[in-house]
Structure 1
Amino acid sequence: MSNVLKNIVRVGRVSSIDPERATVRVAFEDKSGLVSYDLPVLVQQTLKNKDYCMPDPGEHVVCLFLPNGIAQGFCLGAFYSATDTPPVSNAKKRHVSFEDGTTIEYDRETSTLTINTVGAVNITGATGDVIVNGISLVNHIHPESIGSATGKPQ
């Protein structure tokens, strides 16, 4: 019985990914590098709303297997370690850091969403407006100007 339980939850490193199928293969160092079959990666939603995020090759992950070996199971996700540390240490923040340095962070304490990107930002909508400091991008007016630069939006 203990051998069965010992093999149900396993820690390993992602050896390869299949982005189209959202699966990974995982190598288990404690089993001389034995590699799993393709394992589906758990995500938050897959039906009406869909979430997608794949672990990187080399990333430490936790896997859950059915009691019949490592042929059928799931990749539950990655975890932080002494070498791969959290990017923030504040329980009130939701933070995502990307490889290129881009970050997205929401602070529940201050109700502030911060996006820092090294690339372009594209926001597309059928209708809408952007309002900053009470000034509408769509409906603002400029003081009249005849032949010179306009004043600030009002």
Structure 2
Amino acid sequence: MSEFRIGYVSSIDYENGLCEVHYPDRDDTVTEKVPFISNREYRMPEVEDLVAVLHPGDSPEDAVVLGTIWNVKIKPAEGKKGIYRKEYSNKNGEAYRKFDADAKELTDKVKGKKILEAESLEIKVGGATVTVGKSGAVTINSPAGITIKAAGTMELSASTITASAGTVNITGGGGDVVVSGKSLVNHTHKDSLSGDTTPPV
């Protein structure tokens, strides 16, 4: 006979995705190690978490944990209408994804490093596209301007750098451009009498 029960997690088998559940209202009985409904998603509770359990048979091992339940100990991190939030940690705010339906805003947050691994990647925002190909080549296409600003040093390093535009403006308070060992700032030429000219000013 199927039965629905509420209990507390008493121990966890992290490797196999199982836990034991303690029922204070049933003479402090404890289940065998029973599985969570997973849908191939791994997230284990903590000991003392309140959980809902389905017992489809009479045997203690015939049970499955349906999930955790909001209670006095565990409350929503941000409970309000229009908010859809998934915590990726048992501690609120450590790592989560949130969608605010009113603001039409999706937020991913983690207190630490975020790693994205893919064979290729394409990001589209408005009419702009950033593509990272399988070879590692990066392409940025924008129907508007592209601005790069840095408070510190910006370095460009490549086997070949090609710049093409209707107008090219380069402004600097100092420095030099050297191509094939020739300095733009300090280079000189031979005049008609085979003498050296002065550097450009």
List per-residue Cα deviations over 1:39-76 (Å, max 9, x = no partner).
Answer: 11012x2xxxx322222111000111123142311111
Aligned residues with identical type, % of pairs: 20
Q: CA deviation at 1:107?
A: 2.2
Q: CA deviation at 1:9?
A: 1.4
TM-score, length of structure 1 as denominator length: 0.73
Q: Does 1:14 align with 2:2?
A: no
Measure, in 1, the Cα distance between the counterparts of 2:113 and 2:11: 30
In the alignment, which of 59, 63, 66 is matched to residue 53 of structure 2? 63
Which stretch of the first structure deviates more once superposed, 104-113 or 25-34? 104-113
Letter paired with 2:7: G
Higher CA-based Rg:
2
Measure, in 2, the Cα distance between the counterparts of 1:52 and 1:120: 20
Matches within 5 A, 1:1-154: 8-43=3-38, 45=39, 50-97=40-87, 98=89, 99=91, 101-131=94-124, 135-137=128-130, 138-139=139-140
Q: Give the count of matched residue pairs.
A: 139
Which stretch of the first structure deviates more once superposed, 111-120 or 81-90? 81-90
Letter paired with 1:17: I
Measure, in 2, the Cα distance between the counterparts of 1:21 and 1:33: 24
Unmatched segments (≥5 aa) in structure 1: 149-154
Answer 1 or 2: higher relative contact order, Cα 8 Å, separation at least 6.
1
Unmatched segments (≥5 aa) in structure 2: 131-138, 149-167, 173-201
For residue 30 of structure 1, give the secondary structure of its aligned residue in structure 2.
coil
Q: CA deviation at 1:86?
A: 1.5
Q: CA deviation at 1:92?
A: 2.5
